[in-house]
Amino acid sequence: MKGTKKNGSTAQSAGNRNSINYIRITKRMGATAQIVRDRQLYYMLIPFFIWYILMYYMPMYGIQIAFKDYKPLKGITASEWVGIKHFINFFQSPYCWRVIRNTILINIFSIITVFPLTIIFALLLNELRSKRFKTIVQTASYLPHFISTVIVVGLVISILSPTAGIINMVRDIFGAERIYFLAKPEYFRTIYITMGGWQGIGFGAIIYTSALCSIDGYLYEAARIDGAGRFKQFLHVTIPGIMPTIAIMLIMRIGNLMSLGMESIILLYQPITYETADVISSYVYRVGLESATPQYSFAAAVGLFEGVVSLVLVLLANKFSKAVTETSLF
């Protein structure tokens, strides 16, 4: 037994020495030598870089459409240069401030409601002691994220149907008037945010659950030794432990303040609800593709405006977070 322990200790010491030597050699090696040594790992990144260049960088060539009177038959290069004409037309459009207002309001209401609910849901999951029950709840909450948007919208339309919808059937039982919710502009934002929350809270909680798992258990043990109860452990260990993750996710949400997926909006809204439902992305889709005479350049200008504002918001939110919490994306 003594010989076995001695051999084990010797092997461990040898392993530690090898690790130290590896670190020293790596520090002495130049960047080129390290790349050559780890070339097989870098080869695995090649497909990712190719995909990223093809899908994200090459399309940037088309940004110039926003500054031209683009004609498909002429092509991008031969189309007439008009400068910022389309940006001016957008800001002078009667729909400009409506779509900007709707986009910002829906995102702000979503941040106020869905963002904290996602964190709360992750914290509640973390407090569950039954592993089996926790797995069931996690699985059930993740599933809506993988359901097609078309199916989710179809469920919402069925539930809110003025004739066969369960909500109106309940209202009818209690003698209340049936309401066609999807035709009422004042209900659209609530419906959209509720649908998005139901579909995304479970999946969004994965990030915070991972952050909770990374908190050192010794911190909780030290807090208990100091006499801290569950609530004080939550305030002084759990919340500070996930605060960097919360800050990063909030920066990303603020960066998307001017962006909103058009799929759900287009499937849910109607001309009668445009006043509160029409957002930048749906407006771009309608003007750029659905109109009798598609305005490609105008739609590109609006999309570019959205992207630039989103970039500015990310930079400002990142700078503010770095100054206040010392946590930032870059």
Quote the DSSP letter at residue 70: -
pLDDT above 50 for 5: no
Per-residue model confidence (pLDDT) at position 28:
57
Pick the most confident of 220-229, 273-282, 293-302: 273-282
What is the amino acid identity at position 23?
Answer: I
Contacts of 187 (CB under 8 A, 6+ apart): 179, 181
Per-residue model confidence (pLDDT) at position 272:
92
119-148: b or e for each residue (b if 16 or more CB lie within 10 Å)? bebbbebbeeeeeeebeebbeebeebeeee
Q: Are 264 and 196 in contact (CB under 8 A)?
A: yes
Backbone torsion region of residue 70, taken as left when φ is above 0, otherwise alpha when ψ lies between -120 and 50, otherwise beta: beta
- Summarize the confidence of residues 32-39 as an average pLDDT: 78
Among 214, 219, 249, residue whose Cα is nearest residue 234:
219
Q: Is 104 exposed, middle or buried (0-12, 13-18, 19+ CB in 10 A)?
A: middle
Taking each helix axis from N to C end, the angle separating 185-213 and 131-142, rounded to the nearest 10 degrees, works out to 140
Residue 80 in 3-state DSSP?
A: strand
Among 49, 51, 52, 56, residue whose Cα is nearest residue 307:
56
Q: CA-to-CA distance for 20 and 205, rounded, in angstroms? A: 39
Q: CA-to-CA distance for 198 and 114, rounded, in angstroms? A: 9
Q: Are 226 and 313 in contact (CB under 8 A)?
A: no
Integer-rounded Cα Rg, in Å, for the chain is 27
**Topology (CATH level 3) of domain 95-325:** MetI-like fold (1.10.3720)
Confidence of residue 155 (pLDDT cuts 50, 70, 90): very high
Per-residue model confidence (pLDDT) at position 1:
46
Confidence of residue 119 (pLDDT cuts 50, 70, 90): very high
- Mean pLDDT for the chain overall: 84
Per-residue model confidence (pLDDT) at position 275:
92
Strands (E) across the chain are located at 68-69, 80-81
The domain limits of the chain are 2-56, 95-325
